[in-house]
Amino acid sequence: MNNQILLCTVGGSHQPIIEAIRSTSPCYVCFFCTDRDPITSRPGSIDQVTGEGSVIKASYSDSKPTLPNIPTQAGLQTDQFEVSIVPADDLDDAYSIMRDATAELAEKFSGARFISDYTGGTKTMTAALVCAALEMDDVELQLVAGARTNLVRVQDGTEQAMTASVAHLRLLRAMTPYLGAWERFAYHEAAEGLNSIRIAADTTDRQQHQLALGLSRALALWDNFDHAKAFDLIKLYSTHVNACFPYMFQTLSVLTRENDQRCEPARLFDLWLNAERRVAQGRFDDAIARWYRLMEWTAQWQLRTKLNADTADFPCDLLPKDADATPGRDGKIKIGLWQAWQVVGDRLPGSAQDFVKKHGKEILHLVKLRNASILAHGFRPVRDSDWREVCNWTHEKFLPVLRAMADEVGLKSEPQQLPTTFPENL
Least Cα distance to 5 among 161, 116, 125 occurs for: 116
pLDDT band at 145 (very low <50, low <70, confident <90, very high): low
Q: Which residue range(s) make up the domain with 97?
A: 4-164
Quote the pLDDT of residue 426. 66
In the structure, what pLDDT confidence band is assigned to residue 137 with cuts at 50, 70 and 90?
confident
State in Å, rounded, how far the first CA of the chain is from the last one: 45
| Domain-located, residue 424 | no
The pLDDT of residue 147: 39
CB atoms within 10 A of CB 185: 24
Percentages (nearest 5) of helix, strand, coil residues in the chain: 55, 10, 35
For residues 288 and 369, the answer to whether their CB atoms sit within 8 Å is yes
Model confidence pLDDT, tens digit, residues 357-395: 999 999 999 999 999 999 999 999 999 999 999 999 999
CA distance 141 to 132: 10
> From residue 210, how far is each of 180, 199, 234, 245 by CA, in Å?
16, 12, 12, 17
Q: Tell me, yes or no, whether 421 lies in a domain.
A: no
Domain match, 218 and 350 both: no
Q: What is the pLDDT of residues 57-82, one digit of tens each?
A: 887 777 898 999 999 999 999 999 99
Say what the pLDDT of residue 168 is. 81
251 shares a domain with 113: no
pLDDT confidence of residue 327: 85
What predicted TM-score, i.e. pTM, was given to this entire model? 0.80
**Single residue among 240, 260, 280 that ends a domain in this structure:** 260
- Torsion angle, alpha carbons of 256, 259, 262, 263, to 10: 30
Q: Tell me, yes or no, whether 292 and 280 share the same domain.
A: yes
What's 77's domain CATH number? 3.40.50.10770
> Considering the chain, what percentage of its residues have pLDDT values greater than 90?
71
Same domain, 239 and 157: no
pLDDT one-digit tens code per residue, 77-113: 999 999 999 999 999 999 999 999 999 999 999 989 9
Quick: pLDDT tens for 14-29. 888 998 999 899 999 9
For residue 51, being part of any structural domain is answered with yes
Strand partners, 337: none
Residue at 10 is within a domain: yes
Q: How far apart are CA 407 and CA 401, in angstroms?
A: 10
Asked whether residue 243 falls in the same domain as residue 323, the answer is no
Per-residue pLDDT at 395:
97
Residue 160 has a pLDDT of 62
The mean predicted confidence, pLDDT, of the chain is: 90
Domain presence at residue 418: no
On the question of pLDDT at 322 being above 80, the answer is: no
In a domain, 29, yes or no: yes
**pLDDT value of position 201:** 65
- Calculate the CA 331 to chain-centre distance: 52
| CB-neighbour burial class of residue 89 (10 A; exposed 0-12, middle 13-18, buried 19+) | exposed
Domain edge (last residue) among 133, 164, 195: 164
Domain edge (last residue) among 260, 288, 314? 260
The pLDDT, as a whole number, for residue 255 is 97
pLDDT band at 148 (very low <50, low <70, confident <90, very high): very low
pLDDT higher than threshold 60 for residue 1: no
Q: Are residues 160 and 170 in the same domain?
A: no
Q: Is there a domain that residue 419 lies in?
A: no
CB under 8 Å to 106, separation ≥6 — which residues? Answer: 112, 114, 136, 138
Can you give the pLDDT at residue 63? 82
Q: Give the total number of structural domains in the chain.
A: 3
